[in-house]
A = this chain, B = another copy of it.
Amino acid sequence: MSQQRQGSTPGDAGVVPAFPDLPEATIARLPEYLRALHHLAETGAETVSSEGLAAAAGVNSAKLRKDLSHLGSYGTRGVGYDVTLLIDQVEYILGLDKNRAVCLVGVGNLGHALAGYAGFASRGFRVVALFDADQGKVGDTVNGLVVRHIDELPQVAAEESIAIGVIATPPGSAQAVADVLVAAGVTSILNFAPGVLSVPPNVDVRKVDLAIELQILSFHEHRKASLTALPGGRSAPAGNQEAVGS
């Protein structure tokens, strides 16, 4: 099924297999597995069973095994998965061994928080530049980085080989910023501004919209309320996430 060659035994030097094409749903879960794996590694575990890792990541164990099987056979039957080996594999697949350069546009309320977020660096990303259009903010230092004017973006992006851009500007400016990023060669965008961005097909956009998340929760509140209010009176369950804590 997988057209890729799998390295035989650990110890095989950094030879990388052909790039497998993973299902999108699997890709979205790999980061969660990776986080759980790092946690396990810190506690000294050398191997994990699919059951254990699945619990730590909050998913079904069968799903986890199928996901991992897409990367190749990195488990040992009767034993489990080698934690360190699996971490390396997942990080390789996700391209995290490159320590990717990221730039942030819009150093306002939210941008300030993002610029100071330690979770970037610890998970394989380097924020290398901050941009804003407000001259009052240009020149400020945030978390050791100087805020530059957005007009400098193309030059800086080229110098630093920035492939990922984060948009934290007001919605009205988001499309314009996206256009600047795309023109500068950025091929991945994480957008915090509500609204739909229009970009060329070779550019990937992911959106984080806080209000949407809350509205989805609001819907479920509404649903739960209408259920308990109805004759049945059953407080019907609606499980969402469950797993063992640390």
Q: Which residues of A contact B (CB under 8 A)?
A: 1-4, 6, 8, 10, 19, 21, 27-28, 30-32, 34-36, 56-58, 93-96, 98, 100, 102, 109-110, 112-114, 116-117, 119-120, 123-125, 163-164, 175, 187-190, 194-199, 201-227, 230-232, 235-246
Task: Indicate whether A230 sits within 8 Å of B8 (C-beta atoms), given known contacts A32-B212, A94-B218, A213-B190.
Answer: yes
Copies in the complex: 2
How far does the Cβ of A163 sit from chain B's closest Cβ, in whole Å?
A: 5
* Of the residues B164, B175, B196, contact of A214 by C-beta under 8 Å: B164
Report Cα–Cα, A213/B208, bound state, in Å. 9
Task: Indicate whether A211 sits within 8 Å of B175 (C-beta atoms), given known contacts A205-B240, A241-B1.
Answer: no
Report Cα–Cα, A119/B240, bound state, in Å. 25
Task: Indicate whether A213 sits within 8 Å of B202 (C-beta atoms), given known contacts A2-B238, A58-B196.
Answer: no
Question: Could you tell me if A245 and B94 are in contact, using CB atoms closer than 8 angstroms?
Answer: no
Task: Indicate whether A242 sits within 8 Å of B188 (C-beta atoms), given known contacts A120-B211, A164-B218, A219-B93.
Answer: no
Question: Could you tell me if B198 and A102 are in contact, using CB atoms closer than 8 angstroms?
Answer: no
A196-B243, A199-B241, A201-B237 are known contacts; what are 10 more A-B pairs with Cβ within 8 Å? A6-B227, A31-B216, A35-B211, A120-B214, A123-B215, A163-B221, A164-B218, A175-B246, A197-B243, A206-B217
Question: Could you tell me if A231 and B10 are in contact, using CB atoms closer than 8 angstroms?
Answer: yes
Report Cα–Cα, A124/B205, bound state, in Å. 26
Task: Indicate whether A221 sits within 8 Å of B35 (C-beta atoms), given known contacts A28-B216, A119-B210, A208-B213.
Answer: no
Question: Could you tell me if B221 and A164 are in contact, using CB atoms closer than 8 angstroms?
Answer: yes
Question: Could you tell me if B96 and A218 are in contact, using CB atoms closer than 8 angstroms?
Answer: yes
How far does the Cβ of A21 sit from chain B's closest Cβ, in whole Å?
A: 8
Report Cα–Cα, A57/B212, bound state, in Å. 13
How far does the Cβ of A211 sit from chain B's closest Cβ, in whole Å?
A: 4
